[in-house]
Amino acid sequence: MMSLSFVSFRFFPTLCQSHLCYYPSRKVQGCLSNLRGSAETQRMSKSIPFFPKPERLDESMPGYAGFDPLGFSDKFDVKFLQEAEVKHCRICMLAALGWVVPEFWHLPSEVFSNTSPLAALGQVPKLGLIQILLLVAALEAISLDKLTFHPEKEPGDFGFDPLGLGKGNAKKWMQTAELKNGRLAMIAMGAFFHQNLLTNQGIFEQLKTHNFFPTNFPLH
């Protein structure tokens, strides 16, 4: 009995101490793991949570989404990539409008009467296509000159704002809105092109005839 009491007296403080230290340490470890998880989350892309955040892309950029799975921002100049994206956004927004308008209205000539954009392209005179390409090349040379020799210029800024919509605090909002609408237009143009390639019909003509599935099966 005495030996048992001695053992209890001898080891009780140790057991208490280990018991008291164990649970706080678990709490500390839990806090540390939460902090590590939070830091790890901050290093990951918002748009692709299982990809690391692009290091050269700044969250203050208009339209930032942390989306660069192929790592283009590590291989090319970021301002050049921004300029290219804005150009493609603007071109596709205009192209999406130009793709559907001829189904409702076109110039009074047989040359412009085809509502299938890909088929209508073959009706454009060759000299007309050459003129368009030369104009695009001239505009591209002007923009490259501004981008190369005027590094302070913001990507996509040509000083064109006749309505003054991009002034003050509204500027970044307008830039982000332009990019979001442009990205949607780029996706839409890809869809328009492939649907027209499959059906040889305009977008609204496909909707009228229920011919908007790639299998060309009509809906009933």
Residues at the binding site for chlorophyll b are 90
What burial letters (b/e) apply to 163-180, b meaning 16+ CB within 10 Å? eeeeeeeeeeeebeebbe
- For residues 108 and 124, what is the distance between their CA atoms, to the nearest angstrom? 14
Q: Which segments are annotated as binding site for chlorophyll a?
A: 73, 85, 88, 178, 181, 183, 195, 210
d(CA 205, CA 41): 47
**Cα 53 → chain centroid:** 14
d(Cα 172, Cα 148) in Å, to the nearest integer? 23
What residues have CB less than 8 Å from 209, skipping those under 6 apart? 201, 218
Strand partners, 44: 52
Which residues does the annotation place in the binding site?
Answer: 73, 85, 88, 90, 178, 181, 183, 195, 210
Pair 99, 93: CB distance under 8 Å: no
**Closest C-alpha to 119, from 13, 202, 217, 210:** 202
Nearest CA-CA partner of 52 in 67, 72, 62: 67
- Rounded Cα distance between 59 and 185, Å, is 23
Sign of the Cα pseudo-torsion (11, 17, 22, 23, in order): positive
